[in-house]
Structure 1
Amino acid sequence: MQIACPHCQTQNRVEDTRLAEEPNCGACHKPLLSGAPLAVDEAQFQTLIKTLARPIIVDCWATWCGPCQSFAPAYASAAEHFAGKATFLKVDTDQQQNLSGALRIRSIPTILVFEGGREIDRVNGAMSSGQFKAWLTQFF
């Protein structure tokens, strides 16, 4: 799997079997899967959902969506706040239309929570940083 480092954007090749080992970037040595949201395609999404044991929080968004853009800082703040407790992913619904359809995304932003390979909750619409972090605490 190719993962772009959320810190320095360097492409890193990571074996699927090593994802649970919390791999670091080969260039900047920061964690690839915590501390910052990770933009994923359908293949990466499927692999991460099946491989990681901890909760996975997914932001389904689009570049043209105003509420998505206003929610992005709150999402990034939560990713940093809960680093090590969850993995935060971003799915661009325009770029990943097949995945968006499979996830039944009808409005954006939609936030999904996965644990053990299955969806356990979802919420539609933007929230403030405080509201979002408070909502997330139920999963940790």
Structure 2
Amino acid sequence: MTTDNRLIVCPHCGAVNRIHPGREAEAACGKCHAKVFEDHPLELVGSTFDRHIAKSEVPILVDFYSPTCGPCLMMGPQFADAAKTLFPRVRLAKIDTSAEQAVAARYGIRAVPTLILFRDGREIARQSGAMNARDIEAWTRQHV
């Protein structure tokens, strides 16, 4: 086994998988055999959020949103489009701040939508306000 492998958390069962760089797009989970990495945003909750942020070695861009927020609803499809373009370099995920208030409070989310880019378990960049897909992609590439 080489040390080049990266850890990626399975979005289906939560198992941590070692994936060779460049094989993220086709990799299957060693536990549940589902795809480990897909080209659409993951919907996270408190426990899955913590596991993905702490255990994944792939950068994760998280959209902190509320389902009752107009700008969040407008940005949702743009975020999904950005996921297709950024795949598999960056995993995109969403977390509902009204349902997961403890996570939102821990990260000091005061306005939605707010994007936070995580790498190696740490926040590396933050941006508040709605953006289109091109701006999300450019902003993410600037920080990865």
Tell me the TM-score normalized by structure 2.
0.79
In the alignment, which residue of structure 2 is the partner of 1:47?
51
Tell me the TM-score normalized by structure 1.
0.81
1 CA distance for matches of 2:46 and 2:83? Answer: 20
Equivalent of residue 131 in structure 1, options 122, 129, 135: 135
Percent identity between matched residues is 30
Equivalent of residue 41 in structure 2, options 37, 43, 46: 37
Q: What 5-or-longer segments of structure 1 have no aligned partner?
A: 4-11
Q: What is the 5 A alignment of 1:4-23?
A: 12-15=12-15, 17-18=16-17, 20-21=18-19
Find the residue that maps to 1:60 and give its secondary structure. Answer: strand
The answer to whether the 8 Å contact 1:34/1:86 transfers is no
Equivalent of residue 79 in structure 1, options 55, 78, 83: 83
Letter of the 1:109 partner, please give it. P
1:90 aligns with 2:91: no
Task: Indicate the larger mover: 87-96 or 128-137.
Answer: 128-137
Q: What 5-or-longer segments of structure 2 have no aligned partner?
A: 1-8
2 CA distance for matches of 1:99 and 1:78? Answer: 23
The answer to whether the 8 Å contact 1:2/1:13 transfers is yes
Equivalent of residue 66 in structure 1, options 70, 83, 88: 70
* CA RMSD after TM alignment: 2.1
Give the deviation of 1:2 after TM superposition.
Answer: 8.3
The answer to whether the 8 Å contact 2:65/2:114 transfers is yes
Higher helix share: 1
2 CA distance for matches of 1:128 and 1:13? Answer: 31
Equivalent of residue 101 in structure 1, options 97, 105, 108: 105
1 CA distance for matches of 2:14 and 2:117? Answer: 23
Find the residue that maps to 1:13 and give its secondary structure. Answer: coil
Equivalent of residue 114 in structure 1, options 114, 118, 135: 118
